[in-house]
Chain A
Amino acid sequence: MTGSRDAGAPAVELAGIAIAFTLSDRSTYRAVQGIDLQVAAGEFVAIVGPTGCGKSTLLNASAGLLQPSAGTVRIFGTPLAGLNRRAGYLFQQDALMPWKTALDNVAVALEPAGIGRGEARARALEWLGRVGLKGFADRYPHMLSGGQRKRVALAQILIRDPEILLMDEPFGPLDAQTRQIMGNLLLDLWAADRKAVLFVTHDLEEAIALADRVIVMSAGPAAGLIGDHPVPLARPRDIAEIRLDPEFHAIHRTIWGSLRAEVQRAYAQGEAAP
């Protein structure tokens, strides 16, 4: 999976990205505009912003699922054409194949790489163990809880060993305890093998607890990046404990200062919309 790595080139680089959607009445909706963002290899970057500001849209552009209307996406220095083959994408919605068991969902991710079924299943079982689901290999997605499904999806992506992880509010629908467990699991897996991570969330505390850098997005339309805050908290971190750290609070206060106005603006727009 490791391609030619341009020494020093960022894993993901968004340069002057603008994305517009054509609506059904043929008008254009400019979702995001003037986005410049770099994620270094091995860096964990979180993007926070009010709902509907364009976070998923940016991830889709980084994945190559969406063509920006202006600007360039570069992956390790190479302009992206087509799908981003070096990234794994954890979607916001359920993305597992409902007709495959947990094990088959993970094993099938190795098929495009030409790995035989026997070996793929053995490795998939190992990965299910790593995300704490060894005993659930034969379950179909509908027989798993929301948190368990996310873990299967995580194993499905990590088994391919991508150099970049794109994660779209992966723990959004989960309850507080499960979010913590999943956050710690993600940090453990990431510490073992540092990939570049672009992690989208609307939860600022989650962003600070996980990331090296927190990017704040403004409310749409034509949303942009309005803040770039380093998180110099020591690693390894524990999601639950780090929230008690005074430094955490200081960082939270700073970022919340810029985020709050945007959340209120997005909320007011949502109320005003028909």
Chain B
Amino acid sequence: MNRAVLLALQLLVALAFLLLWHVLTTVPIGGRKLLDPFFFSTPLDVLARTWKDLAGGELWRHLGITLLETVLAFATGATGGILLGFAFARRALLAAVFDPYVKAANALPRVVLAPIFALWFGLGIWSKVALGFTLVFFIVFFNVYQGVREVSPTVLANARMLGMNERQLMRHVYWPAALTWMFSSLHTSVGFALVGAVVGEYLGSAGGLGYKIQQAESVFDVTGVFSGMLVLTVFVILLDAVVTAIEKRLLVWRPAPATATS
């Protein structure tokens, strides 16, 4: 399929959806509008509101807060996950002793921690970072653990036969293997960092996209809610594009996944 044609079709779906939404909420059919704009807003209202917010400085402040929380949650979660993943993979006893606790901690639905984190870290950014951390940490931890343990025994034996000591093995074999696994989960973990930030904001804060959406909801401002969701969606898409670019750069050595080209 031609790229341009595909893009055109994808845009067509969006346009059709917006048109349907517009018609149902603004054009009276059989004497009444099928969807009440109070509950469903209208596409033009949402766009106008978003535009207005973007023109004012307020939205950018909220975006900045959410971005900062996401980045911090990812950075701390990834660092913790890498360190502990390595420790567990290289120390069998440690892994065996802590295994049930790690599994139990991971099984806990993280949302229930949000109020506790708010209590411990206040309503500022750190309670959101903590929530994102608990989500990112486990994904990175499990992937690094797996990556280090599943290094090809032949590659490892070869490196040892080349005379590498423990430090050199770490640098040339274990670390790249672990990074591969970590990057394969990069999209998921960045996504979870954002989820942690937004959910945390939604449940209690004074800033951020989650806060903005929650504010709009509390006064039945459906246009505001949809506008917030639109901004959030675009934000996620941009973040994901950045991750893809980083991934492409760092994993050049990996064979490209077989893609069906026609």
A residues apposed to B, CB below 8 Å: 63, 65, 83-85, 87-89, 91, 93-101, 108-109, 111-113, 140-142, 153, 156-157, 160
Contacts and interface: CB of A to CB of B under 8 A. Distances in A.
Contact of A100 (B160, B161, B164, B253): B253
A87 B180 CA distance: 31
B253 A87 contact: no
Contacts of B158: 89, 91, 95-96, 153
Contacts of B260: none
A166 to B, nearest CB: 9
15 contacts: A65-B160, A84-B161, A85-B163, A89-B158, A91-B157, A96-B155, A97-B155, A97-B173, A100-B176, A108-B172, A113-B163, A142-B254, A153-B158, A156-B162, A157-B162
Contacts of B2: none
A141 B164 CA distance: 20
A260 to B, nearest CB: 31
Contacts of B253: 98-101, 140-142
Nearest to A60: B157
Contacts of B159: 97
Contacts of B155: 94-98
Contacts of A99: 176-177, 180, 253
Interface string B1-24: 000000000000000000000000
Interface residues of B, number: 22
B161 A111 contact: no
Interface in B188-225: none
A65 B157 contact: yes
B161 A63 contact: yes
Nearest to A153: B158
Nearest to A142: B255
Nearest to B252: A140
Interface in B128-170: 152, 154-155, 157-165, 168
Interface SS majority for chain B: helix
Interface of B: 152, 154-155, 157-165, 168, 172-173, 176-177, 180, 252-255
Contacts of B255: 142
Contact of A94 (B154, B164, B176, B177): B154
A87 B161 contact: yes
A260 B154 CA distance: 31
Q: Pick the 6 closest A-B CB pairs, nearest first.
A: A112-B163, A95-B158, A140-B253, A142-B255, A99-B176, A93-B154
Nearest to A112: B163
Contacts of A95: 152, 154-155, 157-158
Contacts of B254: 98, 140, 142
Nearest to B153: A93
A65 B180 contact: no
